[in-house]
Amino acid sequence: MDKNNVYEIIGEIANNSNGKKIKGADIAKLIGRCGRGIFSSIAAAYRFYHKKGDPSTAENIANVFVDKNGNYPYKK
C-alpha cells in the first residue's frame, strides 16, 4: 500500500470517528504498520492533509488518535 493510500485511510477513519478516540494499535494492522510506526504514519497523514489544504481532516486526525494510555502520542 503506498503512502497516499495509507494517509487517505487514516483520514477517512478520523473523519468517520464522530469524535471518538481511537487507539493507534487498533488501526495498525488495517494499514500494515506495527509498533510506534503507526504513529509516524498518523503524524505524516496529519501533515499530508494540512499541506493539501484540508484543515478539517488534519484536525480530526490530530484529535482522534491516541496511544495505549489514551494520550496523544505526537504534537501537531
Residue spans per domain, the chain: 3-66
SS (HEC) of 10-76: HHHHHHCCCCCCEEHHHHHHHHCCCCCHHHHHHHHHHHHHHHHCCHHHHHHHHHHEECCCCCCCCCC
Q: How confident is the model at residue 28 (pLDDT cuts 50, 70, 90)?
A: confident
pLDDT tens digits, residue range 46-75? 999 999 999 999 999 999 999 888 887 665
Question: Global pTM?
Answer: 0.86
Average pLDDT over residues 21-47: 86
pLDDT tens digits, residue range 5-19? 999 999 999 999 998
pLDDT at 75: 54
